[in-house]
Structure 1
Amino acid sequence: MQRRATGVIAAVSALGLTAVLAGCSGTGSPDVTLRLVAADYGDSAANSSQKYWDRLAKDYQAKHPDVRVEVSVYPWTDVDRKVKEMVDAGDPPDMAQIGAYADYAARGLLYKVDDLLSIPVQADFLGQLSEAGQVQHVQYGIPFAASTRVLFYNKTLFDKAHLTPPTTWAQLAFDAEALKAEGVTYPYALPLGPEEAQAETMAWMLSGGSGYTDDLGTYTINSPQNAETFTWLKDELVGKGLTGPVPPAKLNRADAFAAFARGEVGMLNGHPTLVQLAEKKGVKFGTVPVPGRNGTPKSTMGVTDWMMAFKKHGHKEQIGDFLDFVYSEKNVLDFSRTYDLLPVTTSASDAMSSAEQDKKLWPFLEELPLARLYPVGKTSWAQVSADVKKRIGQAVGPGGDPTGILNQLQVAASEADSGAAG
């Protein structure tokens, strides 16, 4: 049976100041008002996510006048905190599009995806992304946008040093040595600073054949492979002065990307956003799969942001109907193309992989089937990620002890996991 459809909008600026637009297209007041809190993927007012939600909600409203959707858009630095404050105050939004869902799911606050979305929409999600949205084999998190990592390299600097892009760690170290000899500021940029160290860490763990967890979901931060990986980074890159003037523990991802866009970086791991940034600055670059210890690793890193729906105020039918519209192929493609991100559905991914206009995203799309995500289904992950951001840079610094740091992180992760389970 088809759900009643609904729709309208209240748009919000990236500063979070709600500005309710004109009401319904029909007569009288809407039957239901839904509140959505969403993250801003834009880098300026000109491309704020407010504009995306404005367009989407207006299209929805044209056919569904019985529901008002009030959208509040906040920067990534604020959005998770805003939702937490609303939840703690006992007044959660009906929907939230943020970075993590597991804690809310574990507390019984979210609708199951099965209770919201139509079967065709559920079936369209990429399998590994749907699985990552599960807590104890029940899906609560709805993937919203995805990205993968590839190795970016500066073609101008590589041509000057007569280099080819690396496929192994040994080749990466060789290239970095040659770039250093040419005076390149950051032969390889290694951002293990507090902004997003958990991402660079995971990329290197996977390239070394391990990860944060094993196939059963048990933390393996101090695995022998991870210890070997960070020992190699310390000895072969950082210790030889191949990672630039800023210590990795203090180098943030945004600063590394900005340096690449200035032409100061030979190589770094990057996601699709760096494509647009580098193109704007006129940097000639290429991309290849992230090198592994002995070649292309079996798994690469993927990241997904999440949509979720809170049960507090009801409106299950209206929420599900609106989300079915959000996840139509047209709307998923529109969002992905606007912000240089990867679609989370099979239909939109197939369309993007065959569209010439999306060619710059093809290397990232090719990595998605092999991507492993953060262990976001574990309620302990937020604490583990925070610990990694604080400590992992110490592992590769002067006098650092990679095995010791990884052991400390493992103990803390196991304790956090036990506490969450309890």
Structure 2
Amino acid sequence: MGKSAVRRRVTVFISMVSAMGVTAALGGCSGGTAATPNATLKLVAADYGDSEANSSQKYWDKLVKEYEKKNPGIEIDVSVYSWNEVDAKVKQMVADGEAPDMAQIGAYADYAAKGQLYEVNQLLSIPVQADFVSRLAEAGEVGRVQYGMPFASSTRLLFYNKELFDEAGLTPPRSWSELAAAARTLKSRGVETPYALPLGPEEAQAETMMWLLSGGDGYTGTIGSYGLDSDQNIATFNWLKNDLVGKGLTGPTPPGKLNRADAFEAFTRGEVGMLNGHPSLMQAAEKRGVEYGMVPMPGVDGRAKATMGVADWMMAFKENGNGEEIGEFLDFVYSKKNVLEFSHEYNLLPVTTSASEAMAADKNDKDLDPFLSELENAELYPVAKTSWAQVSADIKQQIGKAVGPNARPSAVLGSLQQAASAAESSE
């Protein structure tokens, strides 16, 4: 994905009747007046493509053109940026007093906490708001009020190389002990990386959360406060350090220096026996001719209590006062057709119930069934916390040290917990 902004201005029109057949008035009511003619809405969006050929700009261009044919009256200016810069771009725009009307980025809580966002029920028609997958809608709430609208989602499963497993006479692991035993067998047969453990700074917070969940805990406790150094979490990292990393089962690159993208690439070269992955890894492996299988993440003594879910977010800023117009447009964005088209293009899971049901019923999407079935039970990052961005950044930089040769996981997790508690207290 390029680092320069890809911009395109297109004209679309909004009428009194939304794409879902319900007029979107503020407060989620069905009354209201027509959108103000000749207003301009600005949308900043992230790029999910991996090349110019499938840039998200093409998705937005197509969607906006279709909207233009049906609805007269409003201009929409869409700017697409790479994930490396989109969050920072929006942050700077807001700081400069030039907030976009809509932003489709990675986090919403900071803006919600400062009173800068519309509540979702001030924007969307009731049928559209009710269509969000409940688990994702809940993750978009701050103080039980929804500000973040899920835009894209995925869950994670344990991928394994079928050819390597078949040659070794192995079956997919269902517990930690089975995973470690399979890794030992693969190592004895010359597999370079029996289990890839990417705890490098790219996405260490994801691999960490998957393992914490499989160990029976997570980032937060039952009351919602951070609990990174809980007894269960310390036990999880002790096991990783002693039973996987310490036994040489995680490959030649130290986990703290292994990034997720590099682990995925090694899997598509046939060098990795097992790793946690999301739907996009399926297509990448198939392109390279790697046969793979997928199973839920193993837990200590059986299946993990939950899998990790990830969502990206759409939000609407109040600064320009275009709530009604924004709601009309987003009703169209979240139609079943458009949600499905986006999900298919980028190998992601739908964020609405109607699109999820359509995908589950489509035989062409059967390979996504295991991910879909995990979504309702998925645990998401604590994105409603304004402190999460800093805590996540700390985890990315520090957690790899917990499995180093001379490390004490309890000390690393304890240090992270201290920093998390301090960040949480300032929310």
Q: TM-score range by the shorter chain?
A: over 0.9
* Alignment correspondent of 1:172: 179
- The one-character-per-residue Cα deviations of 1:349-393 (angstroms, maximum 9, x if unpaired) are 111111011111111001111100000000000000001001100
Structure 1 position 95 matched with structure 2 position 84: no
Structure 1 position 182 matched with structure 2 position 171: no
* Alignment correspondent of 2:366: 359
Cα distance change, pair 245–64 in 1 and its aligned pair in 2 (3 A): same
- 2:360 is matched by which residue type in structure 1? S
Shift, 1:282, TM fit: 1.0
* Alignment correspondent of 1:281: 288
Matched-pair contact (CA < 8 Å) for 1:14–1:73:
no
Separation of aligned partners in 2, 1:104 and 1:281 = 42
Matched-pair contact (CA < 8 Å) for 1:37–1:72:
yes
The DSSP-based 3-state class of the residue aligned with 2:40 is strand
Cα distance change, pair 264–204 in 1 and its aligned pair in 2 (3 A): same
Shift, 1:21, TM fit: 4.1
Q: Percent identity?
A: 65
Matched-pair contact (CA < 8 Å) for 1:147–1:302:
yes
The DSSP-based 3-state class of the residue aligned with 2:150 is strand
Separation of aligned partners in 2, 1:17 and 1:54 = 12
Q: Name which of 52, 60, 76 aligns with 1:53.
A: 60
Structure 1 position 144 matched with structure 2 position 151: yes
* Alignment correspondent of 1:306: 313
Separation of aligned partners in 2, 1:131 and 1:332 = 19
Matched-pair contact (CA < 8 Å) for 2:3–2:84:
no
- 2:182 is matched by which residue type in structure 1? D
Aligned residues: 406
Shift, 1:215, TM fit: 2.7
Separation of aligned partners in 2, 1:332 and 1:76 = 20
Q: Name which of 380, 385, 402 aligns with 1:395.
A: 402
- 2:7 is matched by which residue type in structure 1? T
Matched-pair contact (CA < 8 Å) for 1:198–1:385:
yes
Separation of aligned partners in 2, 1:49 and 1:359 = 24
Structure 1 position 18 matched with structure 2 position 2: no
The DSSP-based 3-state class of the residue aligned with 2:99 is coil
* Alignment correspondent of 2:258: 251
- 2:194 is matched by which residue type in structure 1? P
Question: Which sections of structure 1, spanning at least 5 residues, go unmatched?
Answer: 1-12
Separation of aligned partners in 2, 1:349 and 1:71 = 26
Shift, 1:30, TM fit: 5.6
Once the two structures are overlaid, the 10-residue window that deviates more, 270-279 or 233-242, is 270-279
Separation of aligned partners in 1, 2:143 and 2:282 = 37
Q: Name which of 74, 82, 85 aligns with 1:67.
A: 74
* Alignment correspondent of 1:317: 324
Separation of aligned partners in 2, 1:215 and 1:23 = 46
The DSSP-based 3-state class of the residue aligned with 1:370 is coil
Separation of aligned partners in 2, 1:329 and 1:168 = 38
* Alignment correspondent of 2:32: none
Matched-pair contact (CA < 8 Å) for 2:14–2:325:
no
Cα distance change, pair 359–232 in 1 and its aligned pair in 2 (3 A): same
Instruction: Give the alignment's Cα RMSD to 1 decimal.
Output: 1.5
* Alignment correspondent of 1:237: 244
Matched-pair contact (CA < 8 Å) for 2:9–2:76:
no
Q: Name which of 325, 331, 334 aligns with 2:341.
A: 334
The DSSP-based 3-state class of the residue aligned with 1:359 is helix
- 2:59 is matched by which residue type in structure 1? Y
Q: With structure 2 as the length reference, what TM-score do the two structures score?
A: 0.93
Separation of aligned partners in 1, 2:289 and 2:257 = 27
- 2:8 is matched by which residue type in structure 1? A
Separation of aligned partners in 1, 2:3 and 2:316 = 21
* Alignment correspondent of 2:388: 381
Matched-pair contact (CA < 8 Å) for 1:14–1:48:
no
Shift, 1:22, TM fit: 6.4
Matched-pair contact (CA < 8 Å) for 1:257–1:274:
yes
Separation of aligned partners in 2, 1:57 and 1:298 = 41
Shift, 1:19, TM fit: 3.0
- The one-character-per-residue Cα deviations of 1:322-363 (angstroms, maximum 9, x if unpaired) are 000000011111100111100011111111111011111111
Q: Name which of 198, 201, 209 aligns with 1:191.
A: 198
Matched-pair contact (CA < 8 Å) for 2:12–2:71:
no
**5 Å matches for 1:407-418?**
407-418=414-425
Separation of aligned partners in 1, 2:312 and 2:12 = 30
- 1:57 is matched by which residue type in structure 2? V
The DSSP-based 3-state class of the residue aligned with 1:364 is helix
Once the two structures are overlaid, the 10-residue window that deviates more, 187-196 or 296-305, is 296-305
Matched-pair contact (CA < 8 Å) for 2:12–2:64:
no
- The one-character-per-residue Cα deviations of 1:142-184 (angstroms, maximum 9, x if unpaired) are 0011100000000011111111110100000000001101111
Q: Name which of 292, 295, 311 aligns with 2:299.
A: 292
* Alignment correspondent of 2:230: 223
The DSSP-based 3-state class of the residue aligned with 1:395 is helix
Separation of aligned partners in 2, 1:25 and 1:321 = 7
- The one-character-per-residue Cα deviations of 1:65-110 (angstroms, maximum 9, x if unpaired) are 2011111111111110111111111101100000000000001100
- 1:366 is matched by which residue type in structure 2? S
Q: With structure 1 as the length reference, what TM-score do the two structures score?
A: 0.94
Question: Which sections of structure 2, spanning at least 5 residues, go unmatched?
Answer: 16-35
Q: Name which of 131, 134, 139 aligns with 1:127.
A: 134
Separation of aligned partners in 2, 1:17 and 1:274 = 26
Matched-pair contact (CA < 8 Å) for 1:117–1:323:
yes
- 1:362 is matched by which residue type in structure 2? D
- The one-character-per-residue Cα deviations of 1:280-322 (angstroms, maximum 9, x if unpaired) are 1111001000110111112110000000000000111000000
Shift, 1:216, TM fit: 2.1
Matched-pair contact (CA < 8 Å) for 2:8–2:78:
no
Dislocated runs of 4+, deviation >6 Å: 22-26
- The one-character-per-residue Cα deviations of 1:98-136 (angstroms, maximum 9, x if unpaired) are 000000000110000010011101111111111110111
Cα distance change, pair 157–88 in 1 and its aligned pair in 2 (3 A): same
Matched-pair contact (CA < 8 Å) for 1:14–1:50:
no
The DSSP-based 3-state class of the residue aligned with 1:145 is strand
Matched-pair contact (CA < 8 Å) for 1:15–1:73:
no
Matched-pair contact (CA < 8 Å) for 1:395–1:401:
yes
